[in-house]
A and B are shown apart, each in its own frame.
Chain A
Amino acid sequence: AADEVKLQLKWVTQAQFAGYYVAKDKGFYSDEDLDVTILPGGPDIAPTQVVAGGGADVMIDWMPSALAAREKGLPLVNIAQPYKHSGMMLTCWKDAGIEKPADLVNRTLGVWFYGNEYPFLSWMAHLGIKTDGKGPDSVEVLKQGFNVDPLLQRQADCISTMTYNEYWQVIDAGVSPEELITFKYEDQGVATLEDGLYVLEDKLADPAFEDKMVRFVRASMKGWKYAEENPDEAADIVLENDATGAQTEKHQKRMMGEVAKLTAGSNGALDPADYERTVKTLLAGGSDPVITKEPEGAWTHAITDKALN
């Protein structure tokens, strides 16, 4: 029988995870003799916890939270990094008078927490801006919910968005791109790695498991490359798999297009330079840093080396 693999997503079913859905739908997984179950995530689900509890074999997570978990004693290892670029940015109203990062002081900013706040804190630390309320050298930070309402309702001057998702929701709400100004974290030099594949270190010691992961990563990357080339078809596959029935075709197709830009530069193997940059950003961040020391053994090329050759 096919080997079972359970994959825990970081968020709900959407084109952000198109590669995996495509691999499943197109039979890339079954070609590798794998039976993959894709578990959607949600706002309250910590993929790390699910993996720790044995609910999934492999998960998709952002590196800051994976490294944090590692420091907390959950030995997660990055085995592949299909996303080369970071899609996170800060989107602001232009008419609020914001043109450059320094203009952010004395304003209200929406930020995602749940482990995603560290690049932001690091950026602010970098700029020398405090985050404890409005002031001449400080900003007021809101913990933003999952949508873009704080910006549309003007409860915040800027909010966090992903290039492939929330930004377009703002646009869909009738705002023209000219009214907005965006600051990509990547451009600000504080980007951290997003959407990597992580497993538990001790499980990786088992050759059978390692072999399973090799096949999984190989098929998944095949899925990603297929999705990049056939964005519309990939979006359709994602819509097929969305059990909530809430996603729209227009949005998913556009998301696929944007996601393709982020995955484009990656063959699946983690670029150590990106890793170094992420660690540096995290160590620099804020008063309550997510990691306090340089992690060790947090990534491996063992899987990708085998999978891609």
Chain B
Amino acid sequence: MILVILALILWAFGWWLNVRLAEGPNAGAPLVRLAVPVIFGVTVLLVWELLVRGLNVPMVILPAPSLIATRFVTSLPVLWVDFRQTILKGALSGYIMGCGAALLVAVLIDRSDFLRRGLLPVGNLVAALPIVGTAPILVMWFGFDWQSKAAVVVVSVFFPMLVNAVAGLAQTTAMQRDLMRTYAAGYWQSFFKLRLPAAMPFIFNGLKVSSTLALIGAIVAEFFGSPTVGMGFRISTSVGQLSLDMVWAEIVVAALAGTLFYGLLALIEKGVTFWHPSQRG
């Protein structure tokens, strides 16, 4: 009980600290920008640890962060091998292919009204094909190794990317388009000089949403058949062995990888769409 109360106090304190920092005079400093989420995260972890201990939650349901950390550190080689298999081979290649294909199709759709009318509704249909249905089929088609995982990722990132890219390519104002008309600019000229830059905020939106989908897709697809390596493989077999600490260690890897990738995308976005009001502050 004491631990539970302690957890609540800790939570209040962490939030108070963050309010002080974020509303304080140095809120813009890079250090503070980093510190605030970290404090938030650390608070969550501590509260978690205290609650698990205070409420005697069985380890097989929710292990304490300290247990997860121990497991993480002791299993680094395994985690690295799994990371390479799932993220580097499965997720990344699928992400690149899926987003690339979506961009291409978005351009096709943008070029032809006929295709827009015809393909978008069909695209909606593909979007909702649930991973649990597509993954077994794709494993059957592309084998057990990372190729089938990449295929699952392609299918799951394609539509979010397409919707965003199509919306983005329609983002120009009438005057901006008229200007291009007066220059009698060709399609590709106005594409590269007007529509693509104007679409960038939306495209990055799609890239960011897809990045997390890719990760999940690659991991989940391994539940439906895999070689004996990979994050999804490890998670599902560890659940069977009730090694919940291992499950969470893999989740930590996924979260770290996903966050880093997302951060990288956000950084590039800042560079590319510096002119957009949402980036100018």
B143: chain A residues within 8 A (beta carbon): 155
A155: chain B residues within 8 A (beta carbon): 140, 143-144
A150 near B225: Cβ-Cβ < 8 Å: yes
Q: How far is the CB of B58 from chain A (nearest CB, A)?
A: 5
* Interface of B: prevailing SS: mixed
Report the nearest B residue to A48, measured CB to CB. B242
A44: chain B residues within 8 A (beta carbon): 223, 236, 239
A145 near B225: Cβ-Cβ < 8 Å: yes
B167 CB-CB contact with A under 8 Å: no
A113 near B242: Cβ-Cβ < 8 Å: no
B243 CB-CB contact with A under 8 Å: yes
CB contacts under 8 Å to B, within A61-87, are 65, 68-69, 72-74
A-B contact count (CB 8 A): 84
B60 near A142: Cβ-Cβ < 8 Å: no
B240 near A115: Cβ-Cβ < 8 Å: yes
B224 CB-CB contact with A under 8 Å: yes
B227 CB-CB contact with A under 8 Å: yes
B59: chain A residues within 8 A (beta carbon): 72-73
- Known A-B contacts A53-B61, A73-B59; the reply to A68 vs B226 at CB < 8 A is no
Q: Determine which residue in B139, B144, B243 has the highest number of CB atoms from chain A within 10 A of its CB, and name it.
A: B144
A116: chain B residues within 8 A (beta carbon): 240
A49 near B241: Cβ-Cβ < 8 Å: no
A68: chain B residues within 8 A (beta carbon): 241-242
- Known A-B contacts A52-B61, A73-B58, A142-B226; the reply to A65 vs B241 at CB < 8 A is yes
B228 CB-CB contact with A under 8 Å: yes
- Known A-B contacts A143-B233, A145-B225, A147-B136; the reply to A52 vs B58 at CB < 8 A is yes
A18 CB-CB contact with B under 8 Å: no
A72 to B236, CA, bound (A): 17
A34 CB-CB contact with B under 8 Å: no
A5 CB-CB contact with B under 8 Å: no
B58 near A141: Cβ-Cβ < 8 Å: no
CB contacts under 8 Å to B, within A55-113, are 65, 68-69, 72-74, 113
A210 CB-CB contact with B under 8 Å: no
CB contacts under 8 Å to B, within A35-52, are 43-44, 46, 48-49, 52
Q: How far is the CB of A71 from chain B (nearest CB, A)?
A: 9
B237 CB-CB contact with A under 8 Å: yes
A121 to B37, CA, bound (A): 45
A232: chain B residues within 8 A (beta carbon): none
A144 CB-CB contact with B under 8 Å: yes
Q: How far is the CB of B222 from chain A (nearest CB, A)?
A: 8
A290 near B241: Cβ-Cβ < 8 Å: yes
Q: How far is the CB of A67 from chain B (nearest CB, A)?
A: 10
B144 near A142: Cβ-Cβ < 8 Å: yes
A49: chain B residues within 8 A (beta carbon): 60-61, 239, 242
Report the nearest B residue to A73, measured CB to CB. B59
Q: Determine which residue in B222, B224, B237, B242 has the highest number of CB atoms from chain A within 10 A of its CB, and name it.
A: B242
A309 CB-CB contact with B under 8 Å: no
Q: How far is the CB of A123 from chain B (nearest CB, A)?
A: 16
A290: chain B residues within 8 A (beta carbon): 241
B241: chain A residues within 8 A (beta carbon): 65, 68, 72, 115, 290
Q: How far is the CB of A223 from chain B (nearest CB, A)?
A: 28
- Known A-B contacts A52-B61, A145-B136; the reply to A72 vs B242 at CB < 8 A is yes
Q: How far is the CB of B78 from chain A (nearest CB, A)?
A: 10
A149 CB-CB contact with B under 8 Å: yes
B226: chain A residues within 8 A (beta carbon): 142-143
Give 1 or 0 for each of A195-213: 1 = CB within 8 Å of chain B CB. Answer: 0000000000000000000
Q: How far is the CB of A159 from chain B (nearest CB, A)?
A: 11
A116 to B240, CA, bound (A): 8
A72: chain B residues within 8 A (beta carbon): 59-60, 241-243
A43 near B242: Cβ-Cβ < 8 Å: no
A-B contact pairs, 27 of them (CB 8 A): A44-B236, A44-B239, A46-B240, A49-B239, A49-B242, A52-B61, A53-B58, A72-B59, A72-B243, A73-B59, A73-B60, A74-B60, A74-B242, A113-B236, A113-B237, A116-B240, A117-B237, A141-B228, A142-B144, A143-B226, A143-B227, A143-B236, A145-B224, A147-B136, A149-B136, A150-B225, A290-B241
Using CB atoms and an 8 Å cutoff, list the residues of chain B in contact with chain A: 58-61, 136, 139-140, 143-144, 222-228, 233, 236-237, 239-243
Using CB atoms and an 8 Å cutoff, list the residues of chain A in contact with chain B: 43-44, 46, 48-49, 52-53, 65, 68-69, 72-74, 113-117, 131, 140-147, 149-150, 153, 155, 290
